[in-house]
Amino acid sequence: MVGEITHNMSRSKIYKVWDSMKGRCSRPHTKLYRRYGGRGITVCNEWLSFEGFYEWVKISHYEEGLCIDRKDNDGNYEPNNCHFITNKENNDIGKTGMRKDNRSGVVGVHWDTTNFKWYVQFKGIYLGRHKLLEDAIEIRNQAETEYLGGINNDR
């Protein structure tokens, strides 16, 4: 039967996360559509079904209470651009892309409280986690040099 729910999770928190994500991107009557779907943010084909999304969730360190976050704010909801963070972390990300509690002082490098390492990304691309801040910053700077040709290297 079309529209039949077979996963028995329609009342779970993660189902609500998925449904809200889809709504922000595809339902013009919703409150946040303007900031998501209205800007061209979409949900990848794989995640249009809850089952497809849930397969990714199972390998993505989801815990109840976390929210989905796009690493690149202008990117779509898709496996390579999303991860789970706390509501506090989500609220602390400022317009510059740097979290208010950023201890590194470098956009794209922040302390991962779950893994106790420095999380590194550039332009929404995950570059790894590192024990030493110096290593994390070096990896971030190398990515910036590679992608921007060193335009902003003199910081």
H-only helix segments in 9-132: 13-26, 50-58, 87-92
**What does R_g of the chain's alpha carbons equal in angstroms?**
17
For residue 51, give every residue at least 6 positions away whose Cβ sits within 8 Å of its Cβ, in sequence order, or none.
6, 7
The whole-angstrom separation of Cα 36 and Cα 23 is 9
Give just the sign of the alpha carbon dihedral 117, 71, 50, 8: positive
**Tens-digit pLDDT profile for the chain (155 aa)?**
455 556 788 889 999 999 999 999 999 998 889 889 998 999 999 999 999 999 999 999 888 888 899 888 788 999 999 998 887 777 665 545 666 556 788 888 888 777 788 988 887 788 899 999 999 989 988 888 887 664 444 44
